[in-house]
């Protein structure tokens, strides 16, 4: 069976994929893991550390520092407003 070529947008060479930086406010996190589960790029993992409330908060996974596409899903889904992203240039 022949390999099917991947479909690409016609302007793929001119489109710049955004790169975001993730910021977590550990004190606000209640460990729901929504941001980890819904991240389309699997940028986040659960930390080994706990905040003062005893919850493990999300951190950027090793090697994924530049994988965030600044989609904002983590910010939108967080019930505690404990995470946000900013585009880096």
User: Is residue 16 pLDDT above 70, yes or no?
Assistant: yes
The 10s digit of each residue's pLDDT in 33-74 is 999 999 999 999 999 999 999 999 999 999 999 999 999 999
- C-alpha closest to that of 44 among 1, 10, 29, 27: 29
Q: Residue 32: which H helix or E strand, with range?
A: none
Answer with the residue of higher pLDDT: 4 or 18.
18
**For position 1, what pLDDT does the model report?**
63
Which band of pLDDT confidence, cut at 50, 70 and 90, is reported for residue 75? very high
Q: Which domains does the chain have, with CATH numbers?
A: 19-88 (3.30.70.20)
Q: Residue 86: which H helix or E strand, with range?
A: strand 83-88
pTM over 0.85: no
As a whole number of angstroms, the distance between CA 79 and CA 33 comes to 11
């Amino acid at each position: 069976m022949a390999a099917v070529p991947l479909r690409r947008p016609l302007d793929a060479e001119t489109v710049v994929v955004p790169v975001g930086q993730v910021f977590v406010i550990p004190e606000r996190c209640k460990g729901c893991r929504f941001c980890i589960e819904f991240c389309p790029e699997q940028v986040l993992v659960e930390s080994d550390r706990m905040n003062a409330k005893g919850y493990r908060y999300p951190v950027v996974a090793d090697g994924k520092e530049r994988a965030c596409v600044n989609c904002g899903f983590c910010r939108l889904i967080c019930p505690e407003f404990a995470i946000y992203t900013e585009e880096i240039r």
